[in-house]
């Protein structure tokens, strides 16, 4: 489900969302303070909207932000406010948000 590597990739969990089946598990990760990069490219539009709405509410409750990462608007990063101040995460967002 998650792919981790060095530097900023150790701080971000990269997850491909294909349906809304794992919404509660994703919410639990956000409640634990995880930074998630979610790719909804292969998820049906109605289900991706449900997951986005639900996780946006969870993220709001934890004083977090949601930000689109890719220009196609199918990839989003969910994180606590302070995570967006991390230099490596800022670099990641600057590189892939163009």
Please tell me which residue, 24 or 9, carries the higher pLDDT value.
24
The region, left, alpha or beta by phi > 0 then psi within -120 to 50, assigned to residue 18 is alpha
Residue 2 has pLDDT above 60, yes or no: no
Q: Token pair for residue 33?
A: 């303070």
CA distances from 69 to 24, 40, 76, 78 (A): 22, 11, 5, 10
Percent of the chain with pLDDT over 90: 58
Distance CA 32, CA 69 (A): 22
Banded model confidence at residue 84, pLDDT cuts 50, 70, 90: confident
Percent of the chain with pLDDT over 70: 85
Question: Average pLDDT of 70-94?
Answer: 84
Banded model confidence at residue 11, pLDDT cuts 50, 70, 90: confident
pLDDT of residue 98: 56
Residue 57 has pLDDT above 90, yes or no: yes
Which residue segments constitute the domains of the chain, with CATH numbers given? Answer: 8-96 (3.30.110.150)
Banded model confidence at residue 64, pLDDT cuts 50, 70, 90: very high
């Amino acid at each position: 489900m998650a792919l981790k590597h060095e530097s900023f990739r150790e701080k971000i969990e990269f997850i491909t969302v294909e349906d809304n089946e794992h919404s509660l598990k994703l919410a639990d990760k956000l409640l634990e303070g995880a930074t998630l990069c979610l790719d909804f490219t292969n998820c049906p539009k109605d289900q991706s909207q449900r997951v986005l709405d639900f996780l946006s509410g969870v993220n709001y409750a934890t004083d977090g932000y949601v930000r689109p990462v890719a220009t196609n608007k199918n990839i989003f990063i969910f994180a606590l406010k302070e995570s967006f101040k991390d230099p490596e995460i800022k670099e990641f967002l600057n590189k892939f948000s163009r």
